[in-house]
């Protein structure tokens, strides 16, 4: 494959999904846009490719960032993803909407002031873990922080030991360069966080472009000018940034496995409660209540877990079929039991 395609994120993991005959007859493409009945992407030569969707291939099953195989005219299939970020679709439909695929690092942006909120950060971290991307918490406005920026870093680290956290002034390019270690060739990143925390400022510094206004004009089939927002941007460090409208409006849903992992200590304790349907309120033999009594689990943390879990259950209820829920639940249990066995030293 070409150096361009490797910088765009192509790797052995995707190549391994191509048979010998696929390699002879099909071309891999990374999607930069998904429309109703066609998709647009870049091939290994950095050529723009426009593919029709037909048969089983429907737009709702693809996301910006997907690697797909093309026969030159049509999309043949989507290669299995290393990560995917999705959200509950608007309205009462039962479909989760795919936001972006194959993101390596999710920059969760907040600021060293009033926007800083552990509960919100936990939601994003759970979502990143569920999506199988690496969460990095970026705290902006370090230059105008109400307190010591280090205290915010400490609070962010306390959320999970899977989290990397750093503080910076997004208006200072030298400071933003601290993010380069996640932005090199082959890496794909995205920014999430509330409005006004500095996502556009960081995006502009990393890519040299105004993300939301970086539109492309083109002629549609009838010769009219149309404008569409571009959603993949090359970064100075050599990797790519995905920025779609959906990314900016991301809310938490169906993050059961992520929540379980984030609160591993709690999901672990639950397996020791005497009753399998324990509500952890007044039941005898409740491992959660015992841990609170013993001071090894804080009320605060338990409350945050309960809130996040209830919220996730409400959101998920409208999406998942009973079958999917069963699958998710067993995944959660597997995660909890695996963590336990690792701790006991039974497995690595
Ligand atoms: N002093 C200082 N100002 C900052 C910093 N980060 C962002 N700002 C300012 O905060 C304002 C909002 O920043 P944006 O980058 O537009 O925030 P955003 O997250 O993209 O907001 P949306 O576009 O609404 O999603 C701008 O005026 C920035 O100049 C920082 O680290 N320090
Ligand atoms: Zn209990």
Ligand 1: which atom is nearest the Cα of residue 109? 19
In the block, tokens 């969460």 appear at 135
pLDDT at residue 212 in the model: 62
Model confidence at 338, pLDDT cuts 50, 70, 90, reads: low
How close is the Cα of 224 to the center of ligand 1, in Å? 35
pLDDT at residue 307 in the model: 78
Does domain 256-343 sit in CATH 1.10.40.50?
A: yes
Which residues surround the ion ligand 2 when the cut-off is CB under 5 Å? 273, 278, 280, 286, 288
pLDDT at residue 158 in the model: 86
State the ligand closest to the CA atom of 212.
1
pLDDT at residue 347 in the model: 58
pLDDT digits (tens, 9 = 90+) for 42-67: 999 999 999 999 888 888 899 999 99
pLDDT digits (tens, 9 = 90+) for 163-201: 999 999 999 999 999 999 999 999 999 999 887 889 999
Q: Which two tokens stand for residue 317?
A: 């209820």
Q: Which fold has domain 101-248?
A: Rossmann fold (3.40.50)
pLDDT at residue 54 in the model: 82
pLDDT at residue 322 in the model: 37
Ligand 1 pocket, residues with Cβ under 6 angstroms:
140-141, 143-144, 169-171, 195-201, 248
Domain boundaries, the chain: 3-80, 101-248, 256-343
What angle is formed at CA 188 by the lines to CA 172 and CA 133, rounded to 5 degrees?
105
Residue of 144, 200, 213, 248 to test ligand 1 pocket, by largest number of atoms within 8 Å of CB: 200
Q: Rounded to the nearest 5°, which phi and psi values hold at 207?
A: -115, -20
**Rounded to whole angstroms, how far apart are CA atoms 326 and 254?**
13
Say if 3-80 and 256-343 have the same CATH topology. no
Q: What global pTM score does this model have? A: 0.74
Burial of 132 (0-12, 13-18, 19+ CB in 10 A): middle
CB atoms inside a 10 Å sphere around CB 72: 10
Say if residue 199 carries a ligand binding annotation: yes
With CA atoms as reference, report the closest residue to 118 among 144, 87, 157: 157
DSSP characters for 134-183? EEEEEEE-GGG-SS-HHHHHHHHHTT-TT-EEEE--TT-HHHHGGGGGGS
State the ligand closest to the CA atom of 275.
2
Q: Which two tokens stand for residue 120?
A: 């919100």
What is the bridge-based pairing of β-strands 164-167 and 232-234? unpaired
Q: How many helices (H) and strands (E) does the chain have?
A: 13, 15
State the ligand closest to the CA atom of 213.
1
How close is the Cα of 141 to the center of ligand 2, in Å? 41
CA separation (Å) from 162 to 194, 269, 307?
22, 20, 21
How close is the Cα of 143 to the center of ligand 1, in Å? 12
How close is the Cα of 276 to the center of ligand 2, in Å? 8
Q: Which two tokens stand for residue 139?
A: 């705290």
Residue nearest to atom 28 of ligand 1 (CA): 198
**Rounded to whole angstroms, how far apart are CA atoms 277 and 279?**
6
> Do the Cβ atoms of 262 and 125 come closer than 8 Å?
yes
Model confidence at 346, pLDDT cuts 50, 70, 90, reads: low
Say if residue 86 carries a ligand binding annotation: no
Using the predicted structure, report yes or no on whether residue 82 has a pLDDT greater than 80.
yes
Say if residue 178 carries a ligand binding annotation: no
User: CATH number of 3-80: 3.30.1330.60, 2.40.50.140, 3.30.70.1400, 2.60.120.380?
Assistant: 2.40.50.140
With CA atoms as reference, report the closest residue to 35 among 216, 203, 208: 216
How close is the Cα of 146 to the center of ligand 1, in Å? 16
**Rounded to whole angstroms, how far apart are CA atoms 256 and 306?**
12
Q: Which residues pair with 52 in a beta bridge?
A: 38, 74
pLDDT at residue 149 in the model: 85
Average pLDDT over residues 240-255: 72
> Do the Cβ atoms of 290 and 101 come closer than 8 Å?
no
Using the predicted structure, report yes or no on whether residue 226 has a pLDDT greater than 50.
no
Using the predicted structure, report yes or no on whether residue 320 has a pLDDT greater than 70.
no
Residue nearest to atom 6 of ligand 1 (CA): 198
State the ligand closest to the CA atom of 149.
1
Say if residue 184 carries a ligand binding annotation: no
What is the bridge-based pairing of β-strands 105-111 and 134-140? parallel
pLDDT digits (tens, 9 = 90+) for 130-155: 889 999 999 999 998 877 888 889 98
> Do the Cβ atoms of 32 and 42 come closer than 8 Å?
yes
Say if residue 330 carries a ligand binding annotation: no
Average pLDDT, the chain: 82
CA separation (Å) from 35 to 61, 81, 317, 332?
11, 19, 28, 34
With CA atoms as reference, report the closest residue to 205 among 183, 187, 223, 224: 183
Burial of 309-333, coded b for 16+ CB within 10 Å and e otherwise, reads bebbeebbeebbeeeebeebeeebe
Say if residue 201 carries a ligand binding annotation: yes
Helix (H), strand (E) at residue 107: strand 105-111
Average pLDDT over residues 283-291: 93
pLDDT at residue 343 in the model: 56
């Amino acid at each position: 494959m070409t150096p361009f395609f490797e910088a765009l994120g192509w790797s052995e993991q995707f190549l391994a999904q191509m048979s010998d005959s696929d390699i002879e007859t099909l071309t891999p493409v990374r999607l930069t846009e998904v429309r109703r009945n066609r998709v647009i992407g870049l091939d290994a030569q950095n050529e723009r490719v426009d593919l029709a969707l037909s048969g089983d291939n429907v737009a709702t099953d693809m996301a910006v960032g997907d690697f797909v195989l093309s026969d030159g005219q049509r999309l043949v299939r989507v290669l299995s993803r290393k990560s995917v970020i999705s959200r509950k679709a608007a309205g009462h439909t039962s479909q989760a909407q795919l936001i972006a695929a194959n993101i390596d690092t999710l920059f969760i942006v907040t600021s060293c002031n009033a926007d800083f909120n552990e509960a919100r950060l936990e939601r994003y971290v759970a979502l990143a873990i569920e999506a199988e991307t690496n969460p990095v918490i970026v705290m902006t406005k370090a230059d105008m922080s109400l307190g010591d920026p280090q205290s915010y870093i400490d609070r962010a680290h306390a959320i999970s030991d899977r989290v990397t956290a750093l503080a910076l002034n997004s208006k200072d390019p030298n400071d933003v360069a601290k993010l380069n270690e996640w932005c090199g060739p082959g890496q794909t990143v995205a920014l999430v966080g509330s409005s006004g925390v500095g996502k556009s400022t960081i995006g502009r510094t990393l890519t040299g472009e105004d993300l939301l206004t970086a539109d492309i004009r083109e002629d549609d089939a009838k010769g009219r000018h149309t404008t569409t927002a571009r959603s993949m941007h090359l970064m100075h460090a050599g990797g790519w940034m995905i920025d779609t409208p959906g990314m900016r409006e991301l809310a938490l849903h169906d993050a059961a496995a992520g929540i379980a992992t984030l609160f591993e200590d709690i999901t672990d304790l639950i397996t020791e409660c005497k009753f399998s349907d324990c509500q952890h309120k007044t039941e005898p033999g409740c491992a959660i209540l015992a841990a609170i009594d013993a001071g090894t689990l804080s009320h605060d943390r338990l409350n945050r877990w309960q809130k996040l879990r209830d919220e996730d259950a409400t959101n998920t209820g409208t999406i998942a079929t009973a079958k999917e829920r069963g699958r998710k639940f067993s995944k959660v249990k597997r995660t909890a039991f695996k963590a336990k066995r690792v701790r006991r030293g039974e497995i690595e």
